[in-house]
Chains A and B, each alone.
Chain A
Amino acid sequence: MKYKNLLCCLAAFLTLFQLQAQEQKTISGTITDQDDIPLPGVNILVDGTDRGTQSDFDGNYQIAAAEGDVLVYSYLGQQTVRRTVGASDVIDVTLQEDAQALEEVVVIGYGNQEERKIIQNVGIVKEEAIENLQVTSADQLLQGQSAGTQIVNSSGVLGSASVIRVRGVNSINSGSQPLIVIDGVPITDTETNTLQRGGNTGVNPLSYVNPNDIASLTVLKDAGATSIYGSRGANGVILITTKKGRKNQQATVTLDVSTQYTRATDVPEILSADEFRRFKSEVASIQQGTEVTPEDLGLGAIGSGGTDWLGGVQRTGISQRYNLGIRGGTENTTYFIGLDFQDAEGFIIGNDQQRAGARINLETEVSEWLTAGMNLGITNNRLNRVGVENNTFAPFTTAFLQSPVVEAFDNEGNFAQSGSFIPNIFAIVALDTDELKTFRTIGNFYAEIKPFRNLTYRAEFGVDKLELEEFLRSAEFNTPGGVAQQINVAEDRWLTNQTLTYANTFGESHNLTALVGLNYEETLNTRTNVSATGFLSDDLRNLGSGSTPTVLNGDRNPNRLYGLFSRVSYDYAGKYLVEGSIRRDGSSRFGANNRYGYFWSAAAGWVLSSENFMEDATWLDYLSLRASIGTVGNDRLGSFPSLGLFNAGAIADYNGESGVIPNQPENPDLKWEESETIDVGFKSALFGGRLNLNVSYFKKTTSDLLLNQVLPPQTGFATISRNIGEMENSGWEFELSTVNVRTEDFEWRTNLNLATIDNQVLRLNEDAATDPQGRRIIDGPIQRAIEGESLNNFYLIRYVGVNPQTGDAEWLDADGNITTPPGTDDRVVTGSPLPDFSGGITNTFRFFDFDLSVLMNYSYGNDIVIDGLRFADGNDAIGGIVNIRRQNLNFWREPGDNAYLPSPTSPTFNLFNQRSSQQQLDGSYLRLKNITLGYNLPQRALDQIGNIFSGVRFYFTGTNLFTIKGDELEGIDPEVTDDIDPLFQGESFFTAPQSKSYLFGARLQF
């Protein structure tokens, strides 16, 4: 069936080949700048069509146009010029410098738009903002760059996904990550495809695109921008456009070679073996009222050795990276070829990654009315994974917890068993295999046909194919008998986008663009998960050598999506702009009764600076006001959320007999979540482009929020999904960019962005659990969502501290009175993981041939909970066998002590580390995220080395070099996320810290 459709579409193209060209002549000319210097690479477009060319190296161009056509000449940084073709065949043009640079065309959903005419709220990250950033993964390109786009790196563990939030959390139980579209291909979510390694270690979907291949990123924020993506737009959309060649340009080859050294940013200080022995014996002596030696406690004598586990799991990771880009173009064809190889070592032992990627982007003008092209990126990745968070196989967790008196090696230098359930992590890393191999192809083929003037038909056929293999092998030493596990996942998406665009100008100034289109996607996820136990030898690595193989999963998960959409934009003289869009989406995820949803948006804008009455305000280059309203949906609800289902397989089988077991109660009324957004704002450029200020305010109400309503346990089901909730996010976004100094030899620019988000749960289900005040709640062990308040609130017992007089740890009860011991009823709202505001600041300096870019990101007013401190503090966690932080040495000894830990004889001594606000810390920070210093060889130096190179650049990049944070975060990284789940934001068990890295590199261009 699918193939039939394809064939017919191809037939349709062939029919269109018979088109005739219109009566046209060839216009030629030279383009120069204000100083009469020829400008190469100027875009020349026949207005109202997508027909265009670029000027050559001498500024010359040729283009076919008919008399009366308007030619549009545009070039980055220059003012756009429009000329009407008259009798003459020659049109020479001089372009004036344009400080505003708002003429650029940016990518939006299913199309492009001139930046000055955009009335959608989009965050744009342009090539020049990122071309000198050296990052390992594309999400880092967005960090701190765009207001309202918050990226929290999960940890310094290689390959793990960041939490990306566009305008906060818009869902509770469904996915909250934005839709990511690479060159028109919405990529599949990959986070659930790999084995859980504790915390948020799902594989980063953006690690499949080479950051050096990226030309620009657009973050679609308001409904005006996202509703064209319908049922998938509610969490925002990130459009990634990869680099393309330019017409009539000689091939430029760019080669980047760099080396990076990586360390942990910050780790807590924990006790050495002897400190541990002294602490334990001192505490025991006080408690028992008689001298207790470390030997009595089975800890060995002072000085009898031990292991620095934390030191042992860290290293300086050394990474190499090679990147090659070739771009250029002939008169009809442009190309970009990218090659990338990365051999990265994390700062945690056992964590390595080798990534190789290749890309070809090709576009050719077959004829005047037909353009065809292809974007294709492939990535091959091999990752040695390590666990994080609450996981005894996680190096960074285990190294904190493992007793320092435990010896890692015996006298012969062989690995020693730790003797407890906390394994010898050195042995795990050295002997076990934990490898993830992925191969991913993301690409599309497209053809653009212009059957008539002003009309463009574009057909895209895209594919996102992920092949993943995860292999684990635990050795005899770590798991008696050995165990192997292999998971193979294939996640295939096939899709087509077909759009028809009509663009025309009526009369003098009525500009109209209309778009209709369809989008069909098929996704099939298959997963096989097999394990085997009983291996004769560690040398038999493969699964098949085990005596007892077990099929753990064999899943097939299909889903399909079919959307029809349309968008109409109209403007009068570029001054008054309106736009509307509508999309109808159908999804296989929903029952027949609720299969289709409609999403729409309407927007209006007014470019005040184009009004006559503003002409006197010469200091004002550009000012526009804009407002939009619309709806979008979220379809990430699982594959069959509405059916009553029984599970089969191992979970229901017994003793070799197949069984079924109730899994999901029937839920026929289920549908997608829907958000309605109102967005207003203004955009301005002042003082010849020296100052740009954009401000917007939004309010996003998500209704039909899918809540996993907790069922009374007596039903035998844990939860049922219902569209009952309502949530509101509102906030302000500010983007300020200034050119502080601009002289010939020195330039200083600053970009600052800041966003606030206010989240409020408006409604939970009627039969939701309630608190004593009668408010509906969703309760978790650390957080509680309360109706009428923010979704994320830490809800803990308030810890006060150690009373200097009594030596007792003290908490507050619900009424605010001191208590020892507190109960669960004493939990109150103690903090919020949501910042008051967050954002980024970039300062860029250019001084002669040096450039310096300093990117900082910040978050203010949020709290974090480090749940692992329940183990790393206090005396008795896990029977007292685990190591603890150094501040625990400060325990109460006599009245007047301002101690960290209560008196060993206090009844609160062992209650001290129970879950309370004691583990809640102020998460505000300001971090030097990326600093890059570059030096470009001046032209005369290039001349001296014989003009082999057209450019040579040396650079240094430092990441996370310093962080300003509260004292209580000593040793703890403020950027934490345990989980991608919205209900667990700002929580961590022991997140491995971020990495601090130093990168040295060179870029050669020839």
Chain B
Amino acid sequence: MKSIKILALLLGIGLIFSCEDRLDVVPEDQVASNTVFNSLATINGAVVGIYSKNQSGDLNGMAQLMGDFMADDVNFVGSFPSLQEIDEFQTLATNTSIDNIWLDGYELIGAANNVIENLPPVTDITGLDEATKAQFVAEAKFLRAVTYLKLVNLFAQPYQVAQGSNLGVPLVLQPFEGGDISAFQQERSSVNEVHAQVEQDLLEAIPDLPAENGVRAESGAAMALLARLYLYREQWSQAADMANQVIGSGNYALAGSYDFYDDNPGSSEHIFVVVNTPTDGPQEAAGSDEVYVNFYNPAPGGRGDAPFSQDLLDAFAAEPGDLRFTTLSQAASDAGGNDTFFTLKYPDVVNNASDGMVLRITEMYLIRAEANLRGGTTIGATPLADINLLRDRAGLGPLGTVDLDAILNERRKELCFEGHRRMDLLRNNRNLRPGGGPESEPGANKVIFPIVEDETTNNPNITQNPGNF
């Protein structure tokens, strides 16, 4: 009898010993790394993931906004001390807004490196032919090039300061897969080396990218970015030629009106655009959210931190009736309660999901015009013809002649709030502020960002930019 009771007891407990098997639980919300290159769907997903990273509010949003705060197109009326520092050219290495650009940049580069390095050896995947593989790698290279060019523009003095021999950003071309980190503590490459890598990535990507690829990277996008790189490097004939090829490709055309700023990624205007939708905005696990809508719009809906500067208002006022002002601005009060104007280029205050402008055909005309003017060439068209084309769309009469100032003025009015102005001033050796002092002069220490503290504290090989960071 007693032994039965003991047995029964042990049975009750013993059965639960089988619980051990039940500890094998797998994640349901994520996929393990070793399964990513197992199917066409997940491989495509890994490429889509890079585009998604490019959508980050720090890479497409904050980077442009902060450039605008340094330059003369917008007023800073905000509350973020980290942005105020930038506006006042007092940026410190601890600046968290800058930090996120650097971190997100290298996260994107890591995700791209993962595809560029790990996809080519993959074979025997149903539906994955060599051309598709090459296209995926080319897309990753394009996005890597976009990002390196963005980082080098922000964190290094432009080419003009020392003909590119100055320090750029570290070039990382391998993905991190756990283990040793020393390969990821690299010294900065020179601006020329970074530019060379960008050029190489784009040249390699051009033949492998399709001419039509929806909102994903097309060969025209790689060529357009290359045109921008050559312009920034003052390689005039190559810049004009590349821009001319994009214009001549027939894949893109100036839009009839300025209706391409939101929710119209299919517009012929766009060469490459960051598509934000209500269900897929620039959200991130940490860091900033939608930047364009929040900062460039007044309250309610936006924060009202980045209205037109007086200087830009004056520029538009010089030639009244410019459709780029009349149709693309609204009067409202800014975060400081002052009556002013805000851009309408990022209008989706309801869903916080306006698209980010990256490359559009208008920029190609402007590049062609500037490069032809500076190089004394007329590749494709004369600078005057290109500029008048844009003025015509803006409802302005044609000019009789153009000089560099006229081109830059047109460029400014066309591309304002799209993150171009700071580089346009710096590379043309103009002060970032009208009547600005030495702190905003080209080559000044704080017209570029410091290498962020996350990098300097975790990488003994890094060199900080000069200036009291």
Contact = CB atoms under 8 A, between A and B. Distances in A.
Contact of B459 (A518, A654, A657, A712): A712
Contacts of A5: 15-16, 18-19
Contact of B185 (A555, A649, A657, A712): A712
Interface stretch (B278-286, B308-316, B423-431): B278-286
Nearest to B176: A715
A417 interface: yes
B20 interface: yes
Interface in B258-308: 265, 275, 277-280, 283-285, 298-305
Interface string B118-154: 0000000000000000000000000000000000000
A418 interface: yes
A564 to B, nearest CB: 9
Contacts of B113: 716
A518 B52 contact: no
A656 B23 contact: no
B36 interface: yes
Contacts of B36: 646, 660
B298 to A, nearest CB: 8
A710 interface: yes
Contact of A457 (B9, B52, B111, B459): B9
Interface string A7-39: 011011101101100000000000000000000
B122 to A, nearest CB: 15
B172 interface: yes
B375 to A, nearest CB: 37
B48 A654 contact: yes
Given A480-B300, A660-B42, A562 B20 contact: yes
A644 B32 contact: yes
A459 interface: yes
Given A5-B18, A661-B49, A712-B455, A479 B24 contact: no
A592 B468 CA distance: 50
A909 to B, nearest CB: 13
B181 A712 contact: yes
A35 B124 CA distance: 94
A907 to B, nearest CB: 11
Interface stretch (A536-544, A876-884, A965-973): A876-884
Interface string B192-209: 000000000000000000
Determine the interface band of chain A, counting residues with CB < 8 A from chain B: 35 or more
Given A12-B9, A421-B303, A711-B184, A660 B31 contact: yes
Interface in A854-895: 870-871, 876-882
B52 A716 contact: no
B51 A659 contact: yes
A551 B455 CA distance: 35
Given A12-B8, A548-B278, A655-B215, A717 B110 contact: yes
Interface in A585-603: 586-588, 592, 595
Contacts of A91: none
Nearest to B10: A12
A595 B9 CA distance: 28
Nearest to B175: A716
B210 interface: no
Interface of B: 1-2, 4-6, 8-9, 11-13, 15-20, 22-25, 27-34, 36, 41-42, 44-53, 55, 76-79, 81, 84, 92-94, 96, 102-103, 106-111, 113-114, 170, 172, 175-178, 181, 184-186, 214-215, 265, 275, 277-280, 283-285, 298-305, 333-338, 349-351, 452-455, 457-459, 468-469
Report, nearest first, the 10 A-B pairs whose CB atoms are least far apart: A716-B110, A659-B48, A12-B12, A421-B303, A878-B79, A481-B350, A661-B49, A715-B176, A769-B457, A644-B33
Given A480-B301, A557-B28, 15 more contacts: A417-B300, A421-B78, A548-B279, A548-B350, A560-B22, A658-B48, A660-B36, A660-B45, A661-B46, A662-B110, A713-B455, A715-B110, A716-B110, A720-B178, A779-B453
17 contacts: A1-B22, A8-B12, A9-B15, A421-B335, A478-B300, A558-B25, A560-B22, A560-B25, A588-B23, A639-B27, A646-B36, A658-B48, A660-B48, A662-B175, A666-B33, A824-B94, A881-B77
Interface of A: 1, 4-5, 8-9, 11-13, 15-16, 18-19, 298, 403, 406, 417-423, 451-452, 457, 459, 477-481, 496, 498, 500, 518, 520, 522, 533-534, 548, 550-551, 555-560, 562, 586-588, 592, 595, 639-640, 643-667, 710-718, 720, 767, 769-770, 777, 779, 781, 823-824, 870-871, 876-882, 914
